Amino acid sequence: MEKEFLQTINEHQGIIGKVCRMYCTEQADAEDLFQEIVLQLWKAWPRFNRQSKVSTWLYRISLNTAITGFRRSRTRPVFRPLGFDQDNYAEPPPQRMDLQYAPELQQAISTLNKFDKSLLLLYLDDKPYSEIAEILGLSVSNVGVKINRIKKRLKEILQP
């Protein structure tokens, strides 16, 4: 069971990294969130029934942990569940990105609420509306409406 879990984390570690970067501005917070997500995934692993895609399951738990459950605590011990070291699994930086607008875009995204950040993350990851709906517990039509509202809001912020 442990080997299969670690293999799944290795294959899909980019999902966890994306969620951590979306919700944390400080590296230490991102590392703590990464650990918390892996812990929550491990706890949920025995109940994963394979009815949905692994990536859908990973996103759902990762986003739920980031949105509702994660609170940084200085008294929380630092550990690496199952000997897993996230430093070895950092997602490489994008090959090409227009950095001219990156700070403004990051600032605009930071104004979104946690749920809208989740929706935007999945949309930018080219997830189909049906999968976004399954991950976030929305209807497919509601996903489309919310994405359009987020785009409009970001456009208003970036082009006053």
Mean of per-residue pLDDT scores for the chain: 81
Express each pLDDT in 46-73 by its tens digit.
Answer: 999 888 889 999 999 999 999 876 554 4
Backbone angles phi, psi at 73, to 5 degrees: -130, 125
Residue 110 pLDDT: 86
Amino acid 112 reads L
- Position 144 pLDDT exceeds 90: yes
Q: Does domain 1-92 have CATH number 1.10.1740.10?
A: yes
- Position 151 pLDDT exceeds 50: yes
Band the pLDDT of 158: cuts 50, 70, 90: confident
Q: Which two tokens stand for residue 61?
A: 């738990």
CATH of 96-160, one of 1.10.10, 1.20.120, 1.10.3470, 3.80.10: 1.10.10
Rounded CA-CA distance 37/48 in Å is 15
Contacts of 62-65 spanning 24+ positions with Cβ under 8 A: 62/15, 62/16, 62/19, 62/37, 63/19, 63/118, 63/121, 63/135, 63/136, 64/40, 65/33, 65/36, 65/37, 65/40
Q: Which two tokens stand for residue 57?
A: 């399951």
Residue 120 pLDDT: 93
Express each pLDDT in 82-117 by its tens digit.
Answer: 445 545 444 444 443 444 457 788 888 888 998 999
Residue 27 pLDDT: 87
Q: Which residue has the higher pLDDT, 63 or 25?
A: 63
Rounded CA-CA distance 103/105 in Å is 5
**Domain edges within the chain:** 1-92, 96-160
